[in-house]
Structure 1
Amino acid sequence: MNQQKRIEILTRLRDENPHPTTELHFTSPFELLVAVTLSAQATDVGVNKATAKLFPVANTPQAIWDLGVDGLKDYIKTIGLFNAKAENVHKMCRILLDQHGGEVPESREALEALPGVGRKTANVVLNTAFGWPTIAVDTHIFRVSNRTKFAPGKDVRAVEDRLEKVVPKEFKVDVHHWLILHGRYTCIARKPRCGSCIIEDLCEFKDKTDI
């Protein structure tokens, strides 16, 4: 795919959704960090249902630490892998309290040192909480980037690196939200909805549908 086509795709996505953001519900960097950590192998809808009960009771590192692991599990037991996630979030809170004054660090290295936080989660927090031009590649972005030929790559890191190279600076803060939403609602996994896609004429996917 040539760069002119990429810029047109990004322009159309921006025109349709000028201020995209995550569909996870949060009101602080800490709430976002917890929500993203819980969202691994789970849906945003499922996470939001759990955090709607958790956050009014405990939405700071100290409050979640005070809940204890078992107390936290009671709030997130509807989410997949909740046992391991409760352990990680509880340990995370202790580290935030001991090493970061109870605040979420604005540092990739510090974020990735937290239990349960990998590169993708760190990218989401840096982007959504702090406005960094990071690109968190999930399954939706991986699929859209490869299917459309926008930024093909054999694994998520290869796609991230490719996106970093081909996405112009003016689009970088928002591009991962646009691509996630596009993959979630239009360029879906089993049968993409090409007939209702605003970038269908620019996409280089060969087996387009009429949906």
Structure 2
Amino acid sequence: MNKQKRTEIFTRFREANPSPTTELNYSSPFELLIAVILSAQATDVGVNKATNRLFPVANTPESILALGVDGLKDYIKTIGLFNSKAENVIKTCRILVEKHGGQVPESREDLEALPGVGRKTANVVLNTAFGQPAMAVDTHIFRVSNRTGIAPGKNVLEVEKRLMRLVPREFLLDAHHWLILHGRYTCTARKPKCGACLIEDLCEFKDKTDYLD
């Protein structure tokens, strides 16, 4: 795929959705960090249901620490892997209080040192909370990048690096959100809705469907 096509793809994404953002509910970098930790192998809808109960009660490292592991579990037990996630969140809160003055750090190195935070989670926080160009490649972005030809790669890191290099700079900050939303609602895993896709004529996927939503 050439630069001209990529530019047109992201121009259309921007025209359709000028201010894309995460579907996780949050009102601070800390709330976003916790929501993203909880979202591993879980849906945003499921995480929002839990955090809508949790955050009015505890939405700082100190207040979540005060709940303790068992207290936290009561709020997040509807989410998959809640036992290990509760442990990681408590450990993360302790590190934030002891090492970062209760604030979420703005560096990748410090974020990835937190329990339950990998490269993808760090990228979401850097991009969405702190406005840094970063690409959190999940299953949706991996699929869309490969299927469309925007930035094909054999693994998540390869796709991330290609996207960072190939997405035109003016679109880099929001590209992560556009690609996730496109994969979640249009370029779906089993049967992409090619007939309803705003970039169908630019996409290089060979087995297009005439499926409309």
Displacement after TM superposition at 1:185 (Å)? 0.1
Gaps of 5+ in 1: none
Match of 1:77 in 2: 77
- Alignment-derived partner of residue 9 in structure 2: 9
The equivalent residue for 2:204 is 204
Tell me which residue corresponds to 1:32. 32
Provide the C-alpha distance between the structure 2 equivalents of 1:66 and 1:28, rounded to a whole number of angstroms.
Answer: 19
CA displacement at 1:209 relative to structure 2: 0.7
The AA in structure 1 aligned to 2:165 is K
Match for residue 62 of structure 1?
62
Spell out, residue by residue over 1:79-111, the C-alpha distance to the aligned partner (whole angstroms, 9 max, x if none): 000000000000000000000000000110000
CA displacement at 1:44 relative to structure 2: 0.2
CA RMSD after TM alignment: 0.4
- The offset of 1:169, in angstroms, is 1.2
1:88 aligns with 88
Question: Which residue of 2 is the match for residue 49 of structure 1?
Answer: 49
Q: Where do residues 36-185 of structure 1 align in structure 2 (5 Å cutoff)?
A: 36-185=36-185
Taking every aligned residue pair, what percent have the same amino acid on both sides?
78
Q: Distance in 2 between matches of 1:47 and 1:120?
A: 17
Q: Give the residue type in structure 1 aligned to 2:150.
A: F
**How many Å separate the matches in 2 of 1:174 and 1:41?**
23
Q: CA deviation at 1:62?
A: 0.3
How far apart are 1:168 and its partner, in Å?
1.4
**Count of aligned pairs:** 211
Runs of 4+ with >3 A deviation: none
Deviation at 1:210, TM superposition (A): 0.8
Q: Secondary structure at the match of 2:97?
A: helix
SS at match of 1:173: helix
Q: Using the TM superposition, give the Cα deviation of residue 34 of structure 1 relative to its aligned residue in structure 2, in angstroms.
A: 0.1
TM superposition score normalised by structure 2: 0.99
Deviation (angstroms), 1:199: 0.1
Structure 1 residue matching 2:63: 3-state secondary structure: helix
- Aligned-partner Cα distance in 2 for 1:22–1:210: 29
Unaligned runs of 5+ in 2: none
Given residue 154 of structure 2, which amino acid in structure 1 is its aligned partner?
K
